[in-house]
Amino acid sequence: DIEIVTTEMLKSKITYIENKIKNILKESENTRLIKEGINTLIIGRPNVGKSSILNKLIDEEKAIVTDIEGTTRDIVEGNVVIEGVSLNIIDTAGIRETTDIIEKIGVEKSINLIEKADLIILVINNNEFITKEDVDLIEQTSNKNRIIFINKIDLDSRIDKSIIEGKNYVEGTTFYEKGLDSLKSKIVEMFNLDKIEKSSFTYLTNARQITLLKECLLLVENVKEGLSKGEPIDLLEIDIKRTWELLGDVIGENYSEELLDQLFSQFCLGK
């Protein structure tokens, strides 16, 4: 039956294309990280130890550390190289509910940075009860590359562990430098820093191309799902055509409608 053959053939081709796209996206992401570094954001409530963590990571007293809430008013940046890849670290003003208009701007700035970061280090104070701000931050960063750092384990524990259960977290203290090595290992693991090929600068570095390719991936995944559900091929054809067009855009070549129609006419679509 020609229709079944077409479906099977499409399935294998689509899977092949899906894997290719995934690999290119992964490689492109790695290339970007090697070239530009990992944009890392340290966030958390005031006084949990964010600036202390920055200082320990970069091995320099760059950010001012005091026990006064709101010491870090604007962002402080630092840099450290791990496994040949640069961590561009930003230490932020503590995030808390505030009516102070200036502090509010600082807090909003911190929250906006979350979207742009490649990695979030969310710091929680082991010695205090979990607050609404902690919970909000955990939720706001749940779809990001995030490591929770439970700081101040030299003090009594007051946090409710169930809140971080199953999440990627490290316990430590900047006082005795506990947990900082584990934090670094987790970063290496998260981005496969010890495995990525540092000399290969192939693939896409253009943000537009990457966006197009991500769109292609969604379409291809749709087609794949449609195929497995047995949806009619003429329906899936729309997405396949669109993928083809987008791939043309990625490499800067566009293919005419006629060519597409000619190609698709070779499939028996059971019309």
Cα–Cα dist 268/271, whole Å: 8
Neighbours of 211 (CB within 10 A): 12
40 vs 243, which CB is nearer to ligand GDP?
A: 40
| Residue 110 is a binding residue for ligand GDP (CB under 6 A) | no
6 vs 71, which CB is nearer to ligand GDP?
A: 71
Q: Which of residues 189-208 bind ligand GDP (CB under 6 A)?
A: none
Buried b (16+ CB within 10 A) or exposed e, 145-163: ebbbbbbbbeeeeebeeee
- Give the burial class of 180: count Cβ atoms within 10 A of its Cβ; 0-12 exposed, 13-18 middle, 19 or more buried: middle
89 vs 219, which CB is nearer to Mg ion?
A: 89
- Helix, strand, or coil (residue 82): strand
| Residue 110 is a binding residue for Mg ion (CB under 5 A) | no
Shortest approach of ligand GDP to residue 51 CB, angstroms?
3
Among 46, 78, 106, 226, binds ligand GDP (CB under 6 A): 46
Residues in the chain: 271
Helical residues (DSSP H) of 37-192, grouped into ranges: 50-58, 101-116, 132-140, 180-190
# chain residues binding ligand GDP, by CB under 6 A: 21
Site map (CB under 5 A) of Mg ion, residues 33-72, x = contact: -----------------xx--------------------x
Residues that bind ligand GDP in the complex, under the rule CB under 6 A: 44, 46-52, 65-67, 71-72, 94, 151-152, 154-155, 173-175
Residues that bind Mg ion in the complex, under the rule CB under 5 A: 50-51, 72
